[in-house]
Amino acid sequence: MSLFQSIPPADKPGDTTRPLADRMRPRTLDEFVGQEHLVAPGKPLRTQIERDDTGSLIFWGPPGTGKTTLAQIIAHMTKAEFIEFSAVLVGIKEIKQVMAEAERGRQYGTRTIVFIDEIHRFRTHFSLTWKKATSV
């Protein structure tokens, strides 16, 4: 294999329409780099993931540290639906809709991981939206 040969993703062979970073994203905990104190074999988070007993989690850190990737790996390993959105771009209506869909899925045995990116901005976004709506 050449250094420059493309490596098609396991789920969609030859899909070159996705961004390179997405195509190169780790798909397993063994491929995941960093956070060894949590995800190395025998460590707390990895044990919870392997037992399929993660509960609610909050990942915090600067951009590019693997928060989304780790959430996607957890969803894949636990066979959960993965829904991702940005708190900057959505409102309460969309969140309620996602949560209602997740609840419906749960009734049929489908688990859902809801990943809210930029959640720290949600309060500011909601406050500005609320002020704008109430000042009209």
Residues 134 and 123: their CA atoms lie apart, in Å, by: 16
Q: What are phi and psi of 123, to 5 degrees?
A: -60, -45
- The pLDDT tens digits for 60-98 are 888 889 999 999 999 999 999 999 888 888 877 888 888
pTM: 0.74
Residue in the structure block whose two tokens are 């392997």:
50
Q: Residue type for 74, please?
A: I
CA 127 vs CA 53, 98, 132: distances in Å: 34, 20, 9
- What domains sit in the chain, N to C, each tagged with a CATH number? 1-79 (3.40.50.300), 82-136 (no CATH)
Q: What are phi and psi of 52, to 5 degrees?
A: 60, 45
Q: Which of 25, 27, 24 is nearest to 5 (CA)?
A: 24
